[in-house]
Amino acid sequence: MKKPDKAVVFRKKDALQFPRMFHQLRLFKMRGCLFFISCETPDVEHELAERIVNKMTVEFACCPIFVSPTMIDPFIEIEKYFIANPQPQIKPLFLIRNIVSITKAEEALDRFFQGINLNRDKIGQQNLGMIFFVDDPLLNLIIFKAPDFFTFKSGIFRFGDEAKVRREIAQKPQEPSDNELRLAFLTETFKTQADDLSEVAKANLAGEIGNLHYKLSNLHDALKYDEMALPLFRKSMEQRDEANQLGNIGLIYHDMGELGQAMKKWGQRPIFSRMTRRRMKKVY
């Protein structure tokens, strides 16, 4: 998938695809990213921000910026950051939060959009991408009051919606799941005993680790282990397992939004195989 060069507004059915959101963040070849978060419910916004920080802390320096009626212009803090760090070693990810606090006051909201418009060129000069997690009314206001955000050369993504985040939080287990515990055990086994295993056993172990990563939405790790298993199955002449691995890898690419790579992998499967370990999703 190419780095976007214009605004992309995600359809409603694409909402809340955390793996895809993290993948899009990693695709940014820019100097940093602005991430606008606006949720009506504070705990939902906190959970979303926490997930982003936990998942992206290696690739990005996460910098939360809380706007309020008394601190409306987040770009003041962004400018301070680049003055203090003119050549940052790690790309900054500015999490612009608490926007809901200024949406109730028309004057404060107008000043917020004025700041966006005034700092558009600075954002372009700093080569920053942008992602929005806001509701549709606020997104429409941004399009109407700050239209240049959707025309200059920078990646802009829209994610939603808050209700789905809230449902996912309610379902979030408080203790490590069985899959997480099994993944930790198998990963340690792979690290310590892989050299003593046959190629087929090693391939099966790598494939199972990839499968668990996929269930836990760790798409990059799933791809890493599934691709590790593929040549081992090929060497052992296990064609059915090879076909399954190609199907799994194709499904990961599909969930990453890389349909071309997905179709390529699916097309490489031996013709006799029509099933994979995971239930294949409809592409169209």
CA–CA gap between residue 51 and residue 22 (Å, rounded): 10
Indicate whether 276 belongs to any domain: no
CA–CA gap between residue 228 and residue 205 (Å, rounded): 10
Same domain? For 128 and 49 the reply is yes
* Domain residue limits at 100: 7-171
Same domain? For 154 and 15 the reply is yes
Task: Give the CATH number, domain containing residue 257.
Answer: 1.25.40.10
Indicate whether 284 belongs to any domain: no
Indicate whether 128 belongs to any domain: yes
Contact 25, 31 (CB under 8 A): no
Indicate whether 239 belongs to any domain: yes
Count Cβ atoms within 10 A of the Cβ of residue 248 and give its class: 0-12 exposed, 13-18 middle, 19 or more buried: buried
Beta bridge partners of 196: none
Indicate whether 282 belongs to any domain: no
Same domain? For 12 and 116 the reply is yes
Q: Give the residue from 171, 188, 214 where a domain finishes.
A: 171
Total structural domains in the chain? 2
Task: Give the CATH number, domain containing residue 101.
Answer: 3.40.50
Q: pLDDT tens track of the chain, all 284 residues?
A: 344 333 334 333 344 456 666 666 666 667 788 788 877 777 777 877 887 787 777 778 888 888 877 777 777 788 888 888 888 888 888 888 887 777 666 677 777 777 777 776 666 677 777 777 776 677 677 767 766 655 544 445 555 455 655 565 555 545 556 778 888 888 888 888 888 888 888 888 898 899 888 888 788 889 999 999 888 888 877 677 788 888 889 888 887 778 888 888 888 876 544 444 443 443 43
Contact 262, 253 (CB under 8 A): yes
Question: Who contacts 6 (Cβ-Cβ below 8 Å, separation ≥6)?
Answer: 150, 151, 153, 156
Indicate whether 211 belongs to any domain: yes
Among 231, 263, 260, 266, CA closest to 246: 266
pTM, two decimals, is 0.50
Contact 93, 129 (CB under 8 A): no
